[in-house]
Amino acid sequence: MSTQHENKFTTLEQEALICARCGYCRNCCPVYRVIGWESASPRGKITVAKDLYVKGNKNALSDEFIQRVTQCTLCGACNVVCSTSIDLRELWIELRRRIAEGGKNPKGLQDIRKNILDNKNITTFDNQDRLEWAQDLDDPDVAEPRDGAEVAYFVGCVSSFFPQAAQIPLANAEIFGAAGVDFTTMGGDEWCCGFPLIISGYPDDAREFRRHNVEKIKEMGISTLVASCASCYHIWKYESREQLAGYDLEVLHTTEYLARLIEENRIQLNELDEVITYHDPCDLGRNGGIFDAPRKIINSIPGVRFVELAHHGMDSLCCGGGGNLQSVDPQLAKEITKLRVEEIKETGATIVVSSCQQCEQMLSAAIRETGLPVRVMDISQLILEAME
Amino acid sequence: MKPEIVEEIKHKYGDRANDSPFERNLYTRDLAPVPALMVDPLFKTMPDLVVRPANEEEVAEILRIAWKENIPVTPRAGASTTYFDSIPVKGGIVMDLNLLRGVVGLNEERMTVTVQAGTTWSELDDYLKRRGLTEKSYPSSAPVATIGGWFCMMGYGIGSLKYGSLLSQVKSAQVVLATGDTIAVTPDTDPPLSWFAGSEGTLGIVTWLELEVRKLNPMKHFLLKMDSVPEMAQVLKEVKDAPVIPYNLHFTDPACVQGMHALGLIPDEVGEGCLLQVDYEGAEQELDQAEDIIRRIVDQHPKVKMMPGEMADLEWEERFKALRLKRGGPSVLGGEVWLPIKEVSGYLADIAAMSSKYGIRFMSYGHVVTPEYVTVMTMFYANEVNTINYMFSLGLTKKIQDVGFRYGGHPYGIGLWNSPYITRIYSRKELAELRERKKRLDPRGILNPGKVYRYPLLFHPFTFGIGANVMAGLIRAAGRGGRR
Ligand SMILES: Cc1cc2nc3c(=O)[nH]c(=O)nc-3n(C[C@H](O)[C@H](O)[C@H](O)COP(=O)(O)OP(=O)(O)OC[C@H]3O[C@@H](n4cnc5c(N)ncnc54)[C@H](O)[C@@H]3O)c2cc1C
Ligand code: SF4
Ligand code: SF4
């Protein structure tokens, strides 16, 4: 009969001792489900961490262990079931930090860091090209940075630079335009939110990126920030409190903001004859607490029949794309996506909607491979389709 | 184990067989926090090989090799047991059964489901709930415990009071014997189904089971609070004997309530005392009748307080979270006792006396699992980082079992660590019968050797008793049992 349900993280040493080795965290873990060995389960990893940091067995920091620590999507499913309420997601991130600190990080994660430090974004592109996607708008200038706008749209690295994801900012910009939203972006002054740095084990570097972005937002006099990337949203909402102290910034995910526009009748939605299911991105749903807004949007489209996936909401199954897993073990990430695609298939949906460009990329690739007649869409794309 | 056999199995099973020390090391422990100092000199818990068969044929093939070569095989599923039940003590092969997963078939006419042994109870529940059905009973470790694992243990838990033991709900099962031969078993075959229930993987490997299911009914939950243990025991008896049988009946003693307060796990308004959780399932009419019963009992006991409905609902929702208390540890030691219900008051009084004697808070909670018996878990905090003090604390676990024994109880589950108590659990005749079964089905003793039937030499009840008493005495003398 808990009065408080939050998971807790004190120190790695203490939490490793608290772990009861009950194994509740095994079957919900997508990585364990694919790999199947105890060492790939949260229980197994925390056992080795205890050996290493509590019992002082230095040999336990083996290459095999480091591989297992990086083979994790940081989806947080283990948090939900943990019988001793350990904030396991926090624990995995701390483990990565210690591994990075000891100079033992895999090359894939070191490369991510180098790119971000060099270019201020996760790609090798020049950060000044952040608004390339806007060239496809009727008036590309609407996205140019502007002080004092009603809303700043934080586009995120993937949507800014990856052509496959550019449809998301384009859809959002078109919807904002149709709803008469006075919006802007940070243009080339938008730096990576720092999320990939934190989860690669470099939280100190990430702090500098948050500081920069917050300073810029303050300079622009922004009071509402909207992010379409679940991870960027997570950083702004939960990890930037220190930098934002004393500044009143409303942080919203696009699902929340678009649901608001619909509620205020600023967008008109026409009938769509589709069966739609929704994939909860881990950082937005389980780790960000946003479940209702996307469902409200889908259900507000006339003619749509909404079906839930077998695992949804707090129990949602990761798409495989989280935790920088693709950089260290793309094959494993793919195998995890397949588990999710099986669930999508079972629903009989014609469209699977999500609200994270990473989830959409993973699902699109896997669905294409299986030849399943299902379209993968971002929530903004779905709204745009219903508006046309 | 001969290297060429390891290689042969690795060759056959590819990445589903593993002999790397890194991986094998993770199969050397279960929940029991026993220091290496006490384990490694006595037992070979490190398997030579871990293999994950994907189907019954593979289980049989591995057993045939092991039988031929006399290799110990330890079945392991969720590994959520605490007595080294699924941990090898003589090396050999650990057979990880988690790939035997999923529902084979549902028979809605017979109201049974056939399910592979490595499926967890939560997974089965997900499957059944989507079809308006559910299990008759399940362990309070459902997120990890497998169907086969619970069947091979004692099989009592949530729902047992109303629907009986798991054995009574199983219609048939498939078992691969030590020789690699596969047999179908029912209550009427020779050997019968009952031989395998509670056999802890020592007689055969269960690959699937057909078990009864029930309609998913609405539920009603009640949480009662009383000041004293005798009053709680009296109310518990009245609830249990009333015309509507609870689905689940669970008590928490005053020390455990204190422990929960210390961790902020219960609202302040609950205050001090005992808690009794009563959960009913059934048709609306049955639930209304149950509510009348509870209200009448509460009226007849002016000191018993009915807690708000939301608290009772939450207590039910968190029925799998008994280990939350471990946050107060970091380590927890204890023992689970199968105890006559009529002795609950006496048992808890003696445990409370032990708390004063050793300056340690012993916390107890229990599930009523049959009309006559309750399983009581009594636990206390320790700190495994302080190895010497911790080893002394381990002596206290025997004290818990001794109190249970005084009141007609015995350990629930055997494995390795409860083997010194086998003569408390079984009569001489029963033990002889069990050993006969083992001799008949596994004469070479390859299946989960070192468990259930005999205690290791060092665990002779007499020497074990002296050792445990000395350790407990040292804790008392040192007066540093971690008084809280
Ligand atoms: C929080 C918590 C609550 C618990 N609540 C209960 C409860 O309410 N009731 C209860 O009885 N226990 C309970 N337990 C103990 C344990 O979880 C159960 O006994 C559980 O059913 C064991 O299942 P498992 O899959 O983890 O089996 P394991 O621990 O892996 O194995 C148990 C034994 O069965 C053998 N075995 C496993 N699968 C097979 C198979 N297919 N064929 C042959 N042998 C096999 C193993 O060799 C071992 O001896 C609880 C434990 C915890 C941590
Ligand atoms: S965060 Fe997700 S992938 Fe990582 S251990 Fe937990 S459940 Fe597994
Ligand atoms: S669920 Fe929590 S306590 Fe249990 S093994 Fe996993 S991490 Fe440890």
pLDDT tens per residue, range B256-268: 999 999 999 999 9
Look at B400 and A388; give whichever has higher pLDDT.
B400
Residue B482's pLDDT band (cuts 50, 70, 90): very low
pLDDT value of position A4: 47
Domain B103-215, CATH 3.40.1260.10 — does that match? no
Query: Length of chain A, please?
Result: 388
d(CA B431, CA A138): 85
Please tell me whether residues A204 and A335 are part of one structural domain.
no
Please tell me whether residues A135 and A72 are part of one structural domain.
no
Quick check: A2 and B16 CB within 8 A? Answer: no
For residue B481, pLDDT beyond 70 = no
- Domain membership of residue A347 (yes or no) is yes
d(CA B166, CA B157): 9
Question: What DSSP string describes B310-369?
Answer: HHHHHHHHTTT-GGGGGGG-SEEEEEEEEEEGGGHHHHHHHHHHHHHHHT---EEEEEE-
- Domain membership of residue A222 (yes or no) is yes
Radius of gyration of chain B (CA): 23
Average pLDDT for residues A262-266, to the nearest whole number? 96
What is the third-level CATH fold of B219-411?
A: Vanillyl-alcohol Oxidase; Chain A, domain 3 (3.40.462)
Asked if B54 is an interface residue toward chain A (Cβ–Cβ < 8 A), one would say no
Asked if A76 is an interface residue toward chain B (Cβ–Cβ < 8 A), one would say no
**pTM recorded for the entire structure:** 0.95
- Domain membership of residue A213 (yes or no) is yes
Quick check: B144 and A24 CB within 8 A? Answer: yes
Q: Which of B121, B144, B383 to mutate to test the interface with A (most CBs of A within 10 A)?
A: B144
Please tell me whether residues A136 and A210 are part of one structural domain.
yes
- Domain membership of residue A7 (yes or no) is no
Please tell me whether residues A210 and A229 are part of one structural domain.
yes
The domain of A346 spans: 269-387
Number of domains in chain A: 3
Please give the single-letter amino acid code of residue A312.
H
- Domain membership of residue A122 (yes or no) is yes
- In chain B, the percentage of residues whose pLDDT exceeds 70 is 94
When the pLDDT of each residue in chain A is averaged and rounded to a whole number, the result is 95
Helix, coil or strand: residue B410:
strand
- The residue out of A82, A104, A126 marking a domain boundary is A104
Asked if A8 is an interface residue toward chain B (Cβ–Cβ < 8 A), one would say yes
Question: pLDDT tens-digit profile of A230-253?
Answer: 999 999 999 999 999 999 999 999
- The residue out of A226, A260, A294 marking a domain boundary is A260
Question: pLDDT tens-digit profile of A100-159?
Answer: 999 999 999 999 999 999 999 999 999 999 999 999 999 999 999 999 999 999 999 999
What is the third-level CATH fold of B3-96?
A: 3.30.43
For residue B483, pLDDT beyond 50 = no
Q: Kindly report the CATH number assigned to the domain that includes residue A348.
A: 3.40.50.1860
- Domain membership of residue A244 (yes or no) is yes
Residues of B in contact with A35 (CB under 8 A): none
Among protein residues, the one with the nearest Cα to ligand 3's atom 4 is: A22
For residue B389, pLDDT beyond 90 = no
Please tell me whether residues A124 and A224 are part of one structural domain.
yes
Please tell me whether residues A214 and A120 are part of one structural domain.
yes
**A382 contacts: CB under 8 Å, gap ≥ 6:** A276, A297, A298, A301, A351, A353
- The residue out of A233, A260, A287 marking a domain boundary is A260
Quick check: A20 and B27 CB within 8 A? Answer: no
Radius of gyration of chain A (CA): 21
DSSP state of A315: G
C-alpha distance from A354 to closest chain B C-alpha (Å): 24
Please give the single-letter amino acid code of residue B231.
E
The angle formed by the CA atoms of residues B371, B373 and B378, to the nearest 5 degrees, is: 140
Please tell me whether residues A116 and A72 are part of one structural domain.
no
B219-226 and B248-252: which strand pairing? unpaired
Domain boundaries along the sequence of chain B: 3-96, 103-215, 219-411
B204-215 and B133-135: which strand pairing? antiparallel
C-alpha distance from B212 to closest chain A C-alpha (Å): 24
Please tell me whether residues A287 and A351 are part of one structural domain.
yes
Residue A5's pLDDT band (cuts 50, 70, 90): low
Q: Is B72 in the pocket of ligand 1 (CB under 6 A)?
A: no
Question: pLDDT tens-digit profile of B358-379?
Answer: 999 999 999 999 999 999 999 9
Residue B454's pLDDT band (cuts 50, 70, 90): confident
Q: Is A368 in the pocket of ligand 3 (CB under 6 A)?
A: no
Please tell me whether residues A121 and A251 are part of one structural domain.
yes
Please tell me whether residues A139 and A275 are part of one structural domain.
no
d(CA B362, CA B423): 26
Look at B129 and B391; give whichever has higher pLDDT.
B129
For residue B475, pLDDT beyond 70 = no
Please tell me whether residues A240 and A327 are part of one structural domain.
no
Please tell me whether residues A159 and A282 are part of one structural domain.
no
- Domain membership of residue A160 (yes or no) is yes
For residue B459, pLDDT beyond 50 = yes
Q: What ipTM score was computed for the predicted complex, to two decimals?
A: 0.94
Q: Which atom, in ligand 2's list, is nearest to the CA of A76?
A: 1
Please give the single-letter amino acid code of residue B100.
L
